[in-house]
Structure 1
Amino acid sequence: MAPRRRTVLAAVSTATATAAAGCTNLLGTGADDETDGSTSADEVATAFVDDLANGRFERASERFVENERDRYGDPGRLERVWLAFETVGGAFEEVVETSVTASNRGKVVTVTLAFDRDDHDCGVIVDTESRIRNCGIADEYERPTYVDSNAFDERDVSLSVPDCSLSGTVATPTDGNGVPGIVLVHDDGPMTADTPRGATRTFADLAEGLATRGVASLRYDKRDTACEVALDEYTLDRVTVDDAAVAIERLRAVDGVDPDRIVVVGHGLGGRAAPRIAARDGDLAGVVGLAAPARPYLELTLEQLEHKATVGSHEWEDMRATYETWVDESDRVREGEYEPDEQLLGKPGAFWDSITAYDHVQTAAEVDVPFRFLQGERDFQVTVTDDLERWERELDGKSATTFETYEGLNHLFMPGKGESLAFAYAVRNNVAEEVVDDIASWIGEL
């Protein structure tokens, strides 16, 4: 990464100082908070960031055009965006620079912010009347330093699955033959092969980091991203297990990969499904569960949303309303009062039927394969107390089953400090090197 520029915007003008009333931390000046059509887009965006940096989320909200305020400018949403920057970047220091590009909605201003651990970009859309229409995290992904691109080769592949074709990527070490291989299995929701979320790519980090360390990999687009899935067919098998089975066989056929040393690495829901994948395959060398949920999935889903609705000091009205709706819908799921094609808690009834019928813990206990469960201690979605410790209790006595926790890592196994937030998944970050090393070492001992 280029060295950080330590100069505050040269473009800070009298108009900007006027717009950024009452703040001394960012612009070093104060005045009445007034803007008009003559204020430039970068001045509006800088004044807006000044509000965020100083916790003035209500005033930041008032800068939004009225018809976008509820959706994008809610003080609760703005607080979460800012907290996400701070959890990854650390304490805010200053604005480094701005850049402005035109769009059909006005001007897109990228504000580069200096934090004590790194620089990050905030994107702000400003209309022709100096009102804000949207804002968000605008970082770009960077490959982790522990990846050596000369140590492996990557090529695109296509997985032929029933009624669909999935794009994927195979990474193989340039040196070595008969190497072990992993198939990466996605978390809940639509995902492509790299699992990009803003400026993070969990599966790209894992695949390339492991390939650097002599482990081949296959990652692929999830079915509900690449193909149409009927609601009444949206089951755990259909969107996760079936395609993972195809990917395993595809990796076994890759030149240089030892077909007897294939490991499934499942993240989130993929980790919960991994015992079923192992039972179906019958010949895996091992399973790694990354933040694998152990508690009932309905409970997990509702508690995740509750966290999103309540984190921070400002209520996010839309998130709160969604949570209240999901509380009502959860009662119907418990009672089985729904149709297979009916959406409840963001999932079709067919999914709830399939996840309820699957005893993941019992399946893991019965499968004769080594398991390794990894868990970040800052993960609000899957937790040490509610999930990892249950795996430990239920699998107590099962041979070749081990567990590891990581201080400071979130659900994506990326570092940060403070309250864990979903918005932080979009802030530029990488899977911690210690996690990649741990997986590589464990596979090497199988």
Structure 2
Amino acid sequence: MRTRIVIILFIILLLVACSSDRTLEEQSEEIIDNLIAGNFEDVRDNYFSQQLQETYSKEELQDYWQAMPINGNAKVELESSEQQSFHVVEGVVEQTESSIKVRMTWEQSELVGFHMEPMQKKKTLPSNVEEEKMIIGEGTDFELEGTLTLPTNRDEDLPGVILVHGSGPSDQDETVYAYAPFQDLAYGLAEQGIAVLRYPKRTFVYPNMEATFGNDLTVNEETIDDAVLAAELLKDDDRIQTDAVFVIGHSLGGMLAPRIDQQADTDGMVILAGSPRPLWEIIYDQNMYFLDKLVNEEEEKNKSIQMLEEEKRVGGALIDMTDEKAKETEVFTINGYYLKEMDEHSVGEIALHSNKPMLLLQGEADFQVTMEQDFTMWQQLLEEKIDVTFKSYPELNHFFITSEGTNKGTVEEYSIPGHVDEQVIEDIGKWIHEQTN
């Protein structure tokens, strides 16, 4: 069986539980108790479907759980909610030094979604800022409950922004390990007089989307459609300037910002650690980076390099495949049609021919989307455009948080609690006000 390449940033495990007379809350608590006790094989055997047992090993579940050290003294609190046809149970596993949130999504008696993430101590809502719930896509099959963050004192209509996530399922704060960058942006920009709309990613709320769309799934259904609806929601809000709605995209969201602007007709875009390169090429570089850092044995490294080179070759061939052939192909565990559809829309060319102002920001310590390859390519591509501003920040990583700790330059550094650099938030706010004055 071909060795599976793991994309390290975002881990979502889709599990299916056996039928049971116990309540979903009781089954959810049982899963957490088994994880705390270290019974990873029992969790896998009792709750994973046969197909998922072939996809996810006991060792992967164990490694991810043990990366967030929790012992038998942990306190567990469960909270349940209904989201359309889904029953969601969120468990907070808390102890003195670390806490984990475990989100389990049930459809009838089947566990269709399972997501674990470390928790950080998030910021409290500033006294001069207020929030209200908003529904993105109300009346559609994929409603999303988001949050609009506003300054409490407002004498006139406000500029507004939507926040668009990076790769993988994500909550409205884009929580990754100990980071919550979208909450930081929402609070900071609202304090500067800007309304901010953020919402969970569709694949976070509806974890069976891949089953729903199958190999027809693209970034349209995953990301773009909801971003367009969010922009329209802001434009229809009487408190928001209709000619001052901007898209702020991070990572994959930054890559898609030109396409979102094209469809939603926003008034400008902020690209945070985005890239004009193909996604499969970026994933190849990320895997090569981690291979060089983590694998020392020469024979193993050479075999892995050969495998990565073959994946890269197939990625480069996607654009010339038929849609049907691409749907039968995988590149870095991602369906080929998903990647091919992205390659058919050159975001660099869309940005080049856009008449909208753009702000492109980059952390110089970002090892996922890099200064040397990605930011430099943007600069070369857009160097003659007038309404484009570039800025990079020394010592900031992929999430625009200070890169620090003994594990600098690896995913493990994201476990150190941190917040988006204040200068970044100030620069974004200043740029938006410059476009609206």
Q: What TM-score do the two structures reach when normalised by structure 2?
A: 0.68
1:240-275 deviations in Å (ceiling 9; x for gaps): 222111000111223422121111000011111111
Q: Distance in 2 between matches of 1:316 and 1:122?
A: 37
The match for 2:390 is: 403
Matches within 5 A, 1:237-248: 237-248=220-231
- 2:185 is matched with which residue: 206, 209, 216? 206
Q: Distance in 2 between matches of 1:166 and 1:321?
A: 43
Q: 1:319 to 1:154 in 2, by over 3 A?
A: farther
The match for 1:295 is: 277
1:112-138 deviations in Å (ceiling 9; x for gaps): 4xxxxxxxx499xxxxxxxxxxxxx99
Displacement of 1:342 in angstroms is 4.4
- 1:335 is matched with which residue: 317, 320, 323? 317
1:194-239 deviations in Å (ceiling 9; x for gaps): 1111221111111111112211111111122223242322212221
Displacement of 1:332 in angstroms is 2.2
The match for 1:264 is: 247
Displacement of 1:341 in angstroms is 5.5
Q: Distance in 2 between matches of 1:245 and 1:122?
A: 35
Structure 2 residue 420 is matched with structure 1 residue 431: yes
The match for 1:150 is: 127
The match for 1:389 is: 376
Matches within 5 A, 1:112-131: 112=97, 121=98
| Unpaired stretches in structure 2, ≥5 consecutive residues | 1-56, 77-92, 101-115
- 2:203 is matched with which residue: 221, 224, 231? 224
The match for 1:167 is: 145
Displacement of 1:415 in angstroms is 0.4
Aligned length: 335
Q: Distance in 1 between matches of 2:302 and 2:143?
A: 38
For 2:167, give the aligned amino acid: D
Q: Distance in 2 between matches of 1:442 and 1:255?
A: 23
Q: Distance in 2 between matches of 1:179 and 1:318?
A: 56
Q: 1:397 to 1:249 in 2, by over 3 A?
A: same
Q: 1:317 to 1:211 in 2, by over 3 A?
A: farther
Q: 1:346 to 1:68 in 2, by over 3 A?
A: closer
Structure 2 residue 260 is matched with structure 1 residue 274: no
The match for 2:432 is: 443
Aligned residue for 1:187, secondary structure, equals coil
For 2:270, give the aligned amino acid: V
Matches within 5 A, 1:80-159: 100-101=73-74, 112=97, 121=98, 140-144=119-123, 149-159=126-136
Aligned alpha-carbon RMSD (Å) = 3.5
Displacement of 1:276 in angstroms is 1.2
- 2:171 is matched with which residue: 192, 211, 214? 192
**Greater Cα radius of gyration, structure 1 or 2:** 1
Percent of aligned positions that are identical: 28
For 1:309, give the aligned amino acid: L
For 1:206, give the aligned amino acid: L
Structure 2 residue 305 is matched with structure 1 residue 305: no
| Unpaired stretches in structure 1, ≥5 consecutive residues | 1-66, 86-97, 113-120, 124-136
Q: 1:327 to 1:278 in 2, by over 3 A?
A: same
Is the 1:99–1:110 Cα contact (8 Å) retained in structure 2? no
Aligned residue for 1:197, secondary structure, equals coil
Q: Distance in 2 between matches of 1:319 and 1:221?
A: 38
For 1:372, give the aligned amino acid: L
Which one has more relative contact order, counting CA pairs under 8 Å at least 6 apart? 1
Q: Distance in 2 between matches of 1:287 and 1:152?
A: 24
User: Which of 216-225 and 253-262 deviates more?
Assistant: 253-262
Is the 2:273–2:361 Cα contact (8 Å) retained in structure 1? yes
